[in-house]
Amino acid sequence: MIALERTALETVTAFTRVIDARDNYTGGHSARVSRFARFLGAELGLDPEQVQMLEWAGLLHDVGKLGVPERILNKPGRLTREEFEQVKHHPRLGFEMVRPVTGLAPLLDAVLHHHENYDGSGYPDGLAGEGIPLSARIMRIADLYDALTTDRPYRKAMAFEQALAEMRGESGQATDPTLTALFVDAIQRDRATPGGTAPRARIHLQRRSTAGTAVAPTE
Ligand SMILES: [Fe+2]
């Protein structure tokens, strides 16, 4: 990696810490999504440049949350309909933030469409199936897996097998069935391999703040 690329990656990583620091519950979320997305991209046999693009997209997928008030991101209890509408703006806000950086153009699809569901029920555009860009379908899986395997206000992190069962349950609804099957198989295989490369599931987060007891899921 040339020095300039390294500097750019370090800058993005620093930016990511700012994103995650605003959300009491998802500390480290972007970094983990980045690792899971890279893992799935490599498993798919994508070329190294595309895999690196997924790594960066994972780091920046939620950058638009910088435009969502912190009181909403960390609100105890369920969000109101209006608050959830504000949260739903974050993919488009992120897209608008990243768009001026010409070198990051390959990340735009993943940032804009990481909440699209395979069955068309997601946002912002209600895209479905293979109409959703591949990078965004990968991001959806990485994002979901991290959500299942970290503590949330409404439940503890799931055990590995339970998380995989949930992943299978979402296959064809939230996530692309072919990619989900590949991810689940790969992560199981990886876990059974001493020194496997995938980040380990069941990550328990320490809450930074004692304020509030619960927040609605916002990722
Ligand atoms: Fe998101």
Whether the Cβ atoms of residue 108 and residue 95 lie closer than 8 Å to each other: yes
pLDDT band, residue 218 (cuts 50/70/90): very low
CA 61–ligand 1 middle distance (angstroms): 6
All domains of the chain in start order, with CATH: 3-192 (1.10.3210.10)
CA 54–ligand 1 middle distance (angstroms): 15
CA 115–ligand 1 middle distance (angstroms): 6
Joined tokens for residue 8: 């750019």
CA 59–ligand 1 middle distance (angstroms): 11
Q: What is the pLDDT of residues 41-51, one digit of tens each?
A: 999 999 999 99
Helix (H) or strand (E) holding 137: helix 134-148
Please provide the size of the chain in residues. Answer: 219
CA 168–ligand 1 middle distance (angstroms): 21
CA 193–ligand 1 middle distance (angstroms): 31
* Cα-trace Rg, the chain: 16
pTM of the model: 0.85
Q: What is the pLDDT of residues 45-92, one digit of tens each?
A: 999 999 999 999 999 999 999 999 988 888 878 889 999 999 999 999
